[in-house]
């Protein structure tokens, strides 16, 4: 079955939801407004159960089918949080909150799953139950981990779970997926390098933490280029350098580095963490500075289950006529916590020509809404077929 006609009828309404979320972005677990609207709409749609506060601010709605001979529940997940980026799209519905924007399309994900929930609550053409899961704090906060740790899967009897992400640059309304390892495991780090501050005209009287930080940044790149097996992917990215000085003629007392690592296997993750600590400590020591750091294993690698990947691809083909094989990615995604608990799959949805994800000019393409809504519905109905 192609795109559902109902979503053509609902397109303007779902688009309005999406743009409202876009105007009011919220970060990490502080998604109270978004979660409140989601819960209110799920109740309006007639969901049989709506539970809030899971994983702090997550929302789960349960929709029961016309029968329950299977006794099964399929989970469908969308993320709700935005990013700490100053928006530069210039659209009429741009963020009203300085320094925050939906630069990853979670506003679109939330709106599409709400649209699917409305349809499923109207039709109930499935045997079993559908759990629509709205998750906070995907962007580094581990909201998926917290929802799992609070027992969400067992509480709602979820048997398998599916998620979706929009992809700029992929043709509008097309899908792509891959079985097995899809997204990388992520690590987060923060390093504080302390030296001896002083006047910029007298560097010999200081221990310059900017020089130490610069050498540290370069040395960290050797983990990937000279320590890791070149057949095992590894990314080490320093993404922020901040000093305690704001003056042009002051050598600061300290510099803070922040960044991320990405790996596809445990052996490489162990290597990255070990070498990271050695390089940071020894580089500071070499220049007479001191360094302290935090290194956190954040999200596990996202691995699609073989059978569920086939189900997800079949649903995509039913909606769009085809489903491509996606490349593995060094992105991180905390849907991996769900997949570590239950079999399932994560799929890409093309939104056509758009700025890259996490870019100040990014904007979700509302023309993708009927495709995403239809895929959510198709996977639910195909995995919970009504027996005749």
Give CA separation, 236 vs 209, 331, 333, in Å: 21, 12, 17
Rounded to a whole number of angstroms, the CA Rg of the chain reads: 23
**How far, in Å, CA of 9 to CA of 319, rounded?**
17
Pairing of strands 254-263, 185-194: antiparallel
Contacts of 220 (CB under 8 A, 6+ apart): 236, 238, 276, 279, 280
Q: How confident is the model at residue 387 (pLDDT cuts 50, 70, 90)?
A: confident
For 347-367, write each residue's pLDDT tens digit.
Answer: 999 999 999 999 999 999 999
CB 106 within 8 A of CB 30: no
**How far, in Å, CA of 35 to CA of 25, rounded?**
12
Q: How confident is the model at residue 1 (pLDDT cuts 50, 70, 90)?
A: low
For 102-127, write each residue's pLDDT tens digit.
Answer: 999 999 999 999 999 999 999 999 99
Q: How confident is the model at residue 388 (pLDDT cuts 50, 70, 90)?
A: confident
**How far, in Å, CA of 336 to CA of 83, rounded?**
20
Q: In what order do the strands lie in the sheet with 58-64?
A: 49-54, 58-64, 129-135, 73-79, 160-167, 344-350, 175-177, 324-325
In the chain, the domains with their CATH numbers are 5-182+302-383 (3.40.630.10), 185-297 (3.30.70.360)
For 270-325, write each residue's pLDDT tens digit.
Answer: 999 999 999 999 999 999 999 999 999 999 999 999 999 999 999 999 999 999 99
């Amino acid at each position: 079955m192609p795109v559902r006609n109902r979503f053509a009828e609902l397109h303007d309404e779902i688009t309005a939801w999406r743009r409202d979320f876009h105007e009011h972005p919220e970060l990490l677990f502080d998604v109270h407004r978004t979660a409140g609207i989601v819960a209110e709409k799920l109740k309006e749609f007639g969901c049989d159960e709506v539970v809030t506060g899971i994983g702090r601010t997550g929302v789960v709605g349960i929709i029961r089918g016309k029968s329950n001979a299977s006794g099964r529940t399929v989970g469908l997940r969308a993320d709700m949080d935005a990013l700490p980026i100053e928006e530069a799209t210039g659209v009429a519905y741009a963020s009203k909150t300085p320094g925050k924007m939906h630069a990853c399309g979670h506003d679109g994900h939330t709106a599409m799953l709400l649209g699917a929930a409305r349809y499923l609550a109207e039709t109930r053409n499935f045997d079993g139950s559908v759990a629509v899961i709205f998750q906070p704090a995907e962007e580094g906060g581990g909201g998926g981990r917290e929802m799992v740790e609070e027992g969400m899967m067992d509480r709602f009897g979820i048997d398998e779970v599916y998620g979706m992400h929009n992809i700029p640059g992929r043709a509008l309304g097309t899908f792509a997926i891959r079985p097995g390892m899809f997204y990388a495991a992520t690590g987060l780090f923060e390093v504080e390098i302390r030296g001896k501050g002083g006047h910029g005209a007298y560097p010999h009287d200081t221990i310059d933490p900017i020089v130490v930080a610069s050498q540290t940044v370069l040395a960290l790149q050797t983990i990937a280029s000279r320590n890791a097996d070149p057949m095992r992917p590894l990314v080490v990215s320093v993404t922020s350098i901040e000093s305690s000085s704001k003056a042009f003629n002051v050598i600061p007392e300290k510099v803070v580095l922040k960044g991320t690592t990405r790996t596809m296997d445990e052996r490489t993750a162990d290597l990255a963490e070990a070498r990271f600590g050695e390089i940071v400590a020894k580089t500071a020591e070499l220049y007479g500075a001191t360094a302290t750091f935090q290194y956190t294993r954040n999200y596990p690698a996202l691995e699609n289950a073989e059978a569920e990947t086939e189900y997800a691809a079949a649903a995509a083909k039913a909606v769009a006529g085809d489903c491509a094989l996606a490349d593995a990615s060094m992105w991180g995604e905390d849907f991996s916590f769900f997949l570590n608990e239950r079999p399932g799959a994560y799929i890409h949805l093309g939104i056509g020509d758009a700025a890259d994800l996490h870019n100040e000019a990014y904007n979700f393409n509302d023309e993708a809404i009927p495709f995403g809504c239809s895929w959510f519905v198709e996977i639910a109905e195909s995995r919970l077929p009504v027996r005749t």
